[in-house]
Structure 1
């Protein structure tokens, strides 16, 4: 007897309707807070775990302007971000790979203002002993992905492919 017969081969190939796919991606992005940022630098690839916040499909985090990840983004802004939910078994496998060009927004960049409402900076200020009455001046790194590869094996129960593909309209 198989615990999850719907996980057996052959795998379905059906594409999820865009609206349903977007809902699942947004749910994943808003329900997690850690990702792995992949950049490339002179020493090769760098995969860095970072705490992130999301606003729609955008993911963002603060970073020191002198950090290796910011130096790598300055040299080549093409990045990948991996986000995943805790895994219990194949049936619970759920995650996304986001691809695009990261933007580094310094303290004086006016574009930052649209992202800060989603960023719970007060938590970080409290952790660092900084006043929660002063808005952050930290460097903000933002990825508005051009494409996302979303994987959720539970979709196979409904006859959809576990791997789904999203591209910015």
Structure 2
């Protein structure tokens, strides 16, 4: 039987991708996807996972949320967070995604530290969809996830001799 991607056959290579290549692949994923599942720690210690639409700035991802939402309340109590991002799966060769592990902080819209994040945040499409004016930016808080570790998976890396799962750590 013909094989579409013969490099997927057999055991995975064990190569470690160079940091610059890994960072490029991670940034590509963050720039080309917009949905993540964010997991926070609930009051009773159980995980609470919520899908969010996100934007990215470097290796950080951000989303807007009300301060009263369960995920926002959880993060005020415990800033530890994990986020899962994945590319659409067509087959094994397209299998890829990232798990971000780090901390989150919420910035109010008028916080000066929020300015570069609001400049990178893609809020305009949400405003258009909801019939809001584009000359009136959102006033919701913005939550920024800063990863300390990213577990990146991309099976296409196998083609180049690298293991499909790579670990990135903040310097």
TM over 0.5: yes
Indicate the residue corresponding to 2:22 in structure 1. Answer: 21
> Where do residues 44-123 of structure 1 align in structure 2 (5 Å cutoff)?
44-123=46-125
DSSP 3-state at the match of 1:144: strand
Residue 155 of structure 1 and its aligned partner are, at CA, apart by 0.7
DSSP 3-state at the match of 1:117: helix
Q: Give the Cα separation in 2 of the matches to 1:5 and 1:17.
A: 24
Q: Where do 5+ consecutive residues of structure 1 fail to align?
A: none
Q: Give the Cα separation in 2 of the matches to 1:106 and 1:91.
A: 41
Deviates more, 1:115-124 or 1:44-53: 115-124
Q: Where do 5+ consecutive residues of structure 2 fail to align?
A: none
Runs of 4+ in 1 over 3 A off after TM superposition: none
Q: Give the Cα separation in 1 of the matches to 2:59 and 2:123.
A: 19
Residue 128 of structure 1 and its aligned partner are, at CA, apart by 2.6
DSSP 3-state at the match of 1:115: helix
Taking only aligned residues, the RMSD between alpha carbons, in angstroms, comes to 1.3
TM-score (norm 1): 0.94
